[in-house]
Chain A
């Protein structure tokens, strides 16, 4: 090969052009396959991703704003609801309390009346039996003392006047 070697001045040679062309085409192919292609693709992917992320972020922000508004209204509603519930409970409590008080009062009233009635009854009973006993006794005493028979009605009126006298004496005492 080097037998053809000529050493001369610089001239334009066709071989150089062909060599440049071939080397350049190979270089373009290799760089495109190993470096430019992948890197360009990655740059494209990145710009796509950034665009997508920006869109998504805008969407998310809208959603978040919507949710926040919804929560605020819900919170307001729940507050008024709570107030209503408390009010209802208060009213119910008041009603119940009143009902219980009335009931108790009624019961007490009834008990009182019953007791009064019982007392009155027993007093009357005691008085009646005492009257009868006293009438009988006085009749016996009188019949024994004066051996004179008195009519029962006369005696009763006599005894009544007597007992009234006792009552008065009692009241005075």
Chain B
């Protein structure tokens, strides 16, 4: 897309303000939602607590399916926050897109490859860190020449492909959704009320589908994250 973005440079590091603002808004929304749901925690759960516990059970289930043992427990919180953050990020652009004089200020943060790559990088750093912590550095290095020595280049390349597929799958899905949404908006305003009437139902259908895609992609992202982490953390026999 030919969108323009506000960029600032601090200490030689350049920041895309639209991305930063979107990430910040998503994070605040996630925290506000979770904080709202977790008031008055009781042994017999109330309605809000039930919702939160259902989500936590869901993400715990994702972690357990990849790491059924005791080692999975330390990733419960990470999986929960990652799921909530990606999910809310995916939905943010569907509800709210701010453009001032052609400059984007707010949209889905996950519709930008740099954000999804950052998230994927967090996942991979965690995977490698816990691999070294759990297996020791020697075993960690040995895991690159398993099952046999000439798998070394494949294993190394696999780390990059993991990174790219994890980040670009999410980016592609959300970005495509937003592109189509903005195209539909342009179409709606192209020929007056007639096109608006025609486009409105299509827009609604596509927004609904995007909500669905956003949820699925959040689930897929967390599931694959946990699979990659478990591959690194668990001893390959």
A129 to chain B, nearest CB (A): 116
A34-B35, A35-B38 given; A10·B30 CB < 8 A: no
Residues of B within 8 A of A24 (CB): 27, 81, 85, 119, 122
- The secondary-structure label for the interface of chain B is helix
Tell me how many residue pairs across A and B have CB atoms closer than 8 Å.
138
Determine if A36 and B7 form an interchain contact, defined as CB atoms under 8 angstroms apart.
no
Determine if B52 and A39 form an interchain contact, defined as CB atoms under 8 angstroms apart.
yes
A26 at the interface (CB under 8 A from B): yes
Residues of B within 8 A of A30 (CB): 31
Interface size class of B (residues with CB under 8 A): 35 or more
A16-B114, A31-B80 given; A6·B23 CB < 8 A: no
> B60-80, CB under 8 A of A: which get 1 and which 0?
000000000000000011101
Interface size class of A (residues with CB under 8 A): 35 or more
Query: Could you say which of B23, B76, B78 contacts A19, with CB atoms under 8 Å apart?
Result: B23
Determine if A10 and B13 form an interchain contact, defined as CB atoms under 8 angstroms apart.
no
In the complex, A7 Cα to B115 Cα: how many Å?
Answer: 19
A106 to chain B, nearest CB (A): 85
A151 at the interface (CB under 8 A from B): no
Determine if B118 and A7 form an interchain contact, defined as CB atoms under 8 angstroms apart.
no
A19-B23, A31-B77, A39-B38 given; A49·B114 CB < 8 A: no
Residues of B within 8 A of A17 (CB): 114, 117-118, 121
Determine if A7 and B5 form an interchain contact, defined as CB atoms under 8 angstroms apart.
yes
- Chain B's closest residue to A35 (CB) is B38
Residues of A within 8 A of B114 (CB): 12-13, 16-17
In the complex, A1 Cα to B83 Cα: how many Å?
Answer: 34
Determine if B8 and A27 form an interchain contact, defined as CB atoms under 8 angstroms apart.
no
Residues of A within 8 A of B5 (CB): 7-10
Interface stretch among A40-48, A59-67, A71-79? A40-48
A16-B118, A17-B121, A23-B24 given; A7·B113 CB < 8 A: no
A146 at the interface (CB under 8 A from B): no
Determine if A5 and B113 form an interchain contact, defined as CB atoms under 8 angstroms apart.
no
B212 at the interface (CB under 8 A from A): no
Query: Could you say which of B20, B77, B78 contacts A16, with CB atoms under 8 Å apart?
Result: B20
Residues of B within 8 A of A38 (CB): 38, 41
Determine if A23 and B10 form an interchain contact, defined as CB atoms under 8 angstroms apart.
no
Determine if B7 and A8 form an interchain contact, defined as CB atoms under 8 angstroms apart.
yes
A19 to chain B, nearest CB (A): 5
> B67-104, CB under 8 A of A: which get 1 and which 0?
00000000011101100110000000000000000010
A18 at the interface (CB under 8 A from B): yes
A45 to chain B, nearest CB (A): 7
Residues in chain A within 8 A of chain B (CB atoms): 1-2, 4-21, 23-24, 26-28, 30-32, 34-40, 42-43, 45-46, 49
